[in-house]
Structure 1
Amino acid sequence: MSLFKKFAFLWSYSLLAVIVGTYYLFGPDWVVAGILYTYIVIPLLDLVSGNDRTNVSRDRYDVVVNDSYFDALVYSFVYLHYALIAWGCYVLIAGGLTVWQQLGLIYSIGIFGGGIINVAHELGHRSSSTAQFHAKAALLSVCYMHFIIEHNRGHHVHVATPVDPATAKKNQTLYAFWMQTLVGSYRSAWQIEKRLIQRQGYAVWSRHNDMLWFAGLPILFGTFLTVEFGFWVGYIPWIVPIFFFSQSLIAILLLESVNYIEHYGITRREVSPGQFERVNPLHSWNASQLISNLVLFQLQRHSDHHAYAARPYQVLRHFDEAPQLPFGYALMILISYIPPLWFRLMNPRLERWQARAFRAEEIARAVKQFA
């Protein structure tokens, strides 16, 4: 990895700088700056900067993996998000914002919260207790703690199969997918946790059930925020819980929109009843736009992540063979909000992928037959 790219990951802080900086530099009318930056500026920067298809060389792999600089970046975001939530509460109470300005600020912070789920996603795949703690703390801040159960033990096992609630089907709209994944992922996480604690000999409705903690802790934190700011102003500031749970919902829907575009229509071949081929770089949509990948800690190199879930973000690889999205995630999310436009753009690409996968399957069968 070049020194330029290493320090270019500092661009990941840009959204936070935009949200807070524009408020103090230009006033409350610019609380929508985070929205404009995400959905207009970043796609334009992607267009200007082009694609990044470079990979870390084998001889540099260990050095880059063990560089604590990359860890410091992702860990810092957990604390910054809690600070941003506290700052948001303060501005919403004392800033004299109009209703539209309040909505703009809440939505901007919610977008940053979507990035926090990505940070939790990165840390949640690491085995250390420190990483696991910070992953759960990050998910607590957006009321999505069951994600760490379902994503690691559910989605990564069943991705690109009919039983995965986080894999969108061909011609399924984003809005139908939201219902599928929000309900299905929670149900899956509950069943996974239920089986785990029953194997350990504990009752489902007991303190050993993480799902119960994951449901209660965000409510307790929202209550804590409300009480603390209530002591400060001398009344119950209802804007605080409205803000906290609203930014959480925005973050969750943003995360699930990313799931939609990452796995739209992709399926793995069923090799025997209920058994599917191993996940490989053909089984996720990827995007190589430079700025988007810097902001998202290379989440767009999603195929490599699914093939090697423990691989840290800084060494995720680009594969030319992986199906490629035409734009970075931000613009693709906007397109997904308009189903006819999404289908027109993505279905031909999906059909080309399906034909390619079918040809690969035919070749594999032929090789096996004459081996």
Structure 2
Amino acid sequence: MHTKVKRTGRSFRNWKYFLNLIPVILVIFGNLSGGWFTLLNFTFSFIVLGIAEILLPEDHTNDDWIEDELPDTLMFLSVAGQISALLSLIYGISTGIISGYWIITAALSTGGSSGTLAIVVAHELIHRKHKIWNFAGRFLLFTVFNPYFYIHHLRIHHKYVGTDQDPVTAKFGENYYHFVGRSISGQMNQSMQMEIQRCKINKLNPYGFNNYLISCISGYLGILLLSMIVWGWEVSAALVLQAIFANLLLEYTNYIEHYGLSRMDNERVNEKHSWQSDKLISRFLLIDLSRHSDHHFHASKPFNQLLSYPDSPVLPGGYASMILPALIPPLWFKLVNNKIPKHFSQKP
């Protein structure tokens, strides 16, 4: 058992989470500069961080969290950063600072930040009960055109993780490419069915704007149409591309967080049903998303209080360094399959 240490004051641990803002700063600079600078965040997030994660040590500390205002300050800055990143992308393209093929690199770099900042922070905020923070989380998901995560993650994934009823749990022997299609379609279908059921119970039109998914999708179409009219099709295409890339990163994290870890339907979720990593890069640039075991064990716990468990399965690398193996199925299976505890079902 871990003993919680609650203190007040300043914590260096809470300051380290501000590293999460580096990608969005690089994105904004790149979008306002154009050319090769649009590759800054892509290079930093997917090459520099991957190498750094291999070289840097792990941080298993559990008793260093402090209760102060820094985590909330980071959440506010993250929302502001995401808004600024998208506005800089729109501005860069509409003014000609970004043109030609650089629009693609700018969109991918922006999408990289959307995936590592906006969606990760949204994941934290939708778990919060306070209406303003919860709305901020849903807003961040809106910026990446994701209508289902808010519903599915809270009401389905946490309840059914590790079972066949959860499409977000990657099965043993399933590669990333197969998982992406199954996961997204499964989440969309289950979320839509849940929204239809909710509307019917509350005697609302299940196929109108009372349906959260339908209202979000309508909003996306309106935004894209407006941006096309005001700034041109290149801006709309860039917004779509950054959203697609961000959601592919989301599905990558979904893939590595639960791959091959199953449980019985009547078995309570515990710290053994999610992969964990204490790699420094994964911990602090992703606000401890890599301590996913504790998140599922105690879903309401703030990110800066998540613990590392000695009994949790540990990934052979962190989130930044496991991207390449995940994209090469034979390499992924070689690195991960033999690390899955024997008591878990390992049938494809």
Shift of 1:94: 2.6
**Residues 276 and 292 in structure 2, CA contact (< 8 A), matched pair in contact too:** yes
- Aligned partner of 2:93 in structure 1 is 92
- Aligned partner of 1:277 in structure 2 is 267
Matches within 5 A, 1:3-18: 3-18=11-26
Provide TM-score, normalisation by structure 1.
0.86
Q: Which moved more, 1:153-162 or 1:192-201?
A: 192-201
The alignment yields a C-alpha RMSD, in angstroms, of 1.9
- Aligned partner of 2:167 in structure 1 is 165
Query: Any idea what SS the aligned residue of 2:164 has?
Result: coil
- Aligned partner of 1:139 in structure 2 is 141
Higher gyration radius (CA) = 1
Shift of 1:173: 1.0
- Aligned partner of 1:332 in structure 2 is 322
Matches within 5 A, 1:251-290: 251-268=246-263, 270=264, 275-290=265-280
* Unmatched tracts of structure 1, length 5 or more: 230-236, 359-371
Letter in 2 for 1:191: Q
> CA offsets, 1:241-273, max 9 Å, x none?
1011111111111101110011111101x2xxx
> CA offsets, 1:23-62, max 9 Å, x none?
667x6113112111112211233234311111136xx6xx
Q: 1:204/1:24 Cα in 2 relative to 1: closer, same or farther (>3 Å)? A: closer
CA distance, structure 1, for counterparts of residue 239 and residue 165 of structure 2: 32
CA distance, structure 2, for counterparts of residue 14 and residue 330 of structure 1: 14
Percent identity, please: 30
- Aligned partner of 2:113 in structure 1 is 112
Q: Is residue 2:32 matched to residue 1:44?
A: no
Query: Any idea what SS the aligned residue of 2:180 has?
Result: helix
Q: 1:97/1:212 Cα in 2 relative to 1: closer, same or farther (>3 Å)? A: closer
- Aligned partner of 2:79 in structure 1 is 78
CA distance, structure 2, for counterparts of residue 98 and residue 79 of structure 1: 25
CA distance, structure 1, for counterparts of residue 208 and residue 96 of structure 2: 43
Would you identify which runs of 4 or more consecutive aligned residues in structure 1 move more than 4 Å? 22-25
Q: Is residue 2:331 matched to residue 1:341?
A: yes
Letter in 2 for 1:316: L
**Residues 107 and 242 in structure 2, CA contact (< 8 A), matched pair in contact too:** yes
**Residues 287 and 325 in structure 1, CA contact (< 8 A), matched pair in contact too:** yes
Q: Is residue 2:29 matched to residue 1:21?
A: yes
Aligned positions, number: 336
Shift of 1:338: 0.8
Q: Is residue 2:339 matched to residue 1:354?
A: no
Letter in 1 for 2:342: Q
| Alignment partner of 1:53 out of 44, 54, 60 | 60
CA distance, structure 1, for counterparts of residue 32 and residue 212 of structure 2: 40
CA distance, structure 1, for counterparts of residue 32 and residue 226 of structure 2: 27
* Unmatched tracts of structure 2, length 5 or more: 1-6
CA distance, structure 1, for counterparts of residue 96 and residue 288 of structure 2: 35
CA distance, structure 2, for counterparts of residue 258 and residue 244 of structure 1: 21
Provide TM-score, normalisation by structure 2.
0.91
Shift of 1:311: 0.5
**Residues 258 and 273 in structure 2, CA contact (< 8 A), matched pair in contact too:** yes
